[in-house]
């Protein structure tokens, strides 16, 4: 059902500029939130650490993501399972810059007991000119997947974007400049609030053209088919996150909660749903085995249930479709210590439960985590998020695997778990 808006909170914002990326608050904008509408057994107990991420030389142990299936448990959750039907406990991290990732990074990740990585790729890097794919990028991805298989790490390839693409943000992120149509409208970046760029008319126009223009739809589908063709058969490849943090046109004042709630529902039911159907078909033209995950809009992170419809999978046999929401607290991203009295974890859990259960979709939480857990509130947030995900998710990938002080890094500079990150590494 359409979400019912209540008093707004600041927009969640993401900044990914370097290996020590720091998120900033979108304080100038407001999102609608809704508190809408028990505890399930954790799949962790059914899966030993060796099945999660450590190499295992026993001859009877198989590792091939194409053999991952799913089943629905008595409590209503749908979980991913191995070739014997045992629930998988897939915990892991995002790799923000896969071109900088080394084999040692993946070995270290596996040695800490993790079994899943999410690899952010961009259209701009894979297809810098229309119809010309970068073979070096494909080779690099295959190398990364080979390393992942060596250390028994499943991998999800995330088609990533922020503020549409490189035309607005520079660099090589998101959609390429050649696939950007802004109708000649101006774009003025805000260095203190990058998320505000989504609401500029030029960015709104670019998204509208991507959703609506036949040639851009075809180009995007061709890319997905090409990537799936290049990577199919890789033992580590679990699947694809089809579109990171989708956004679209907002008609009216984005500071109005009702406007944003209506725009999100309209996008999910219309243009975004149509895009997902196209992209599911495009991947299936090349790969019938990969799991395909759909994302809701970022409003789900503030407790707004998704309005996405059901999707069908054209592959022979059971569907291999999943749901990949993100799990961020806006106030924490704005730099505040987490307040347990705010109800964030409870509201989020309620908001994301109904859709995947109704459609028997396994849940992969593709991104989550505070900028730092050195404060008491944020450390408690991590503990509660880990506990909550055991009740509704079959997999999660934290943002992200790096060494540093703060800036979302899971490790200290000397490679130890960062302060407050204990539950991430122990699973409880």
- CATH number of the CATH domain containing 313: 3.20.20.80
Q: How far apart are CA 329 and CA 315, in angstroms?
A: 36
Residue 319 is assigned to a structural domain of this protein? yes
Residue 166 structural domain: 6-426
Residue 298 DSSP SS3: helix
> Taking a C-beta distance cutoff of 8 angstroms, is the pair 340, 26 a contact?
no
Residue 295 is assigned to a structural domain of this protein? yes
State phi, psi for 302 to the nearest 5 degrees.
-110, 20
Cis geometry, peptide bond prior to residue 71 (ω within 30 degrees of 0): no
Residue 99 is assigned to a structural domain of this protein? yes
Q: Give the number of domains in the chain.
A: 1
Q: Rounded to 10 degrees, what is the CA torsion of 21, 290, 75, 389? A: -10
Q: How far apart are CA 8 and CA 87, in angstroms?
A: 38
Residue 1 is assigned to a structural domain of this protein? no
Residue 149 is assigned to a structural domain of this protein? yes
Question: What is the residue-level pLDDT of the chain in tens, covering all 428 positions?
Answer: 333 333 333 333 333 333 333 333 333 333 333 333 332 333 333 333 334 444 343 334 689 999 999 999 999 999 999 999 999 999 999 997 788 899 999 999 999 999 999 999 999 999 999 999 999 999 999 999 999 999 999 999 999 999 999 999 988 899 999 999 999 999 998 888 888 899 999 999 999 999 999 999 999 999 999 999 999 999 999 999 999 999 999 999 988 888 998 999 999 999 999 999 999 999 999 999 999 999 999 989 888 899 999 999 999 999 999 999 999 998 998 889 999 999 999 999 999 999 999 999 999 999 999 999 999 999 999 999 999 999 999 999 999 999 999 899 999 999 999 999 999 999 88
Q: What is the pTM of this model?
A: 0.88
213: how many CB neighbours lie within 10 A of its CB?
13
Residue 50 is assigned to a structural domain of this protein? yes
């Amino acid at each position: 059902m359409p979400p019912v808006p209540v008093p707004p909170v600041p927009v969640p914002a993401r900044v990914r500029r370097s290996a020590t990326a720091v998120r900033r608050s979108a304080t100038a904008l407001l999102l609608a939130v809704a508190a809408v509408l028990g505890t399930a057994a954790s799949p962790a107990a059914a899966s030993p650490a060796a099945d999660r991420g450590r190499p295992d030389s026993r001859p009877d142990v198989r590792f091939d993501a194409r053999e991952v299936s799913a089943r629905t448990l008595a409590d209503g959750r749908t979980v991913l399972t191995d070739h014997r039907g045992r629930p998988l406990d897939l915990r892991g991290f995002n790799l923000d810059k896969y071109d900088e990732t080394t084999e040692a990074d993946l070995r270290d990740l596996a040695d800490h007991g993790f079994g899943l990585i999410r690899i952010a790729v961009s259209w701009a890097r894979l297809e810098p000119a229309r119809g010309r794919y970068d073979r070096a990028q494909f080779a690099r991805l295959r190398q990364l997947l080979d390393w992942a298989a060596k250390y028994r790490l499943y991998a999800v390839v995330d088609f990533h974007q922020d503020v549409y693409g490189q035309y607005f943000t520079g660099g090589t992120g998101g959609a390429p400049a050649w696939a950007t149509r802004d109708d000649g409208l101006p774009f003025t970046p805000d260095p203190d609030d990058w998320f505000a760029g989504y609401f500029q008319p030029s960015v709104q126009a670019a998204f509208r053209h991507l959703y609506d223009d036949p040639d851009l739809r075809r180009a995007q589908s061709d890319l997905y088919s090409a990537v799936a063709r290049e990577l199919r058969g890789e033992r580590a490849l679990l699947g694809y996150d089809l579109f990171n943090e989708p956004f679209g046109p907002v008609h009216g004042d984005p500071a109005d909660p009702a406007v944003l709630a209506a725009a999100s529902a309209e996008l999910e039911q219309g243009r975004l749903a149509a895009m997902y159907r196209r992209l599911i078909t495009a991947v299936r033209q090349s790969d019938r085995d990969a799991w395909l995950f759909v994302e809701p809009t970022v409003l789900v992170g503030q407790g707004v249930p998704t309005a996405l419809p059901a999707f069908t999978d054209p592959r022979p046999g059971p569907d291999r479709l999943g749901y990949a929401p993100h799990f961020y607290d806006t106030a924490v991203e704005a730099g505040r210590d987490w307040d347990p009295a705010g109800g964030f974890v409870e509201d989020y859990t309620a908001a994301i439960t109904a859709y995947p259960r109704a459609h028997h979709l396994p849940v992969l939480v593709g991104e989550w985590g505070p900028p730092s857990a050195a404060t008491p509130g944020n450390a408690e947030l991590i503990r509660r998020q880990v506990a909550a995900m055991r009740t509704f998710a079959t997999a999660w990938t934290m943002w992200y695997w790096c060494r540093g002080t703060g800036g979302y890094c899971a490790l200290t500079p000397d490679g130890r778990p960062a302060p407050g990150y204990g539950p991430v590494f122990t699973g409880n």
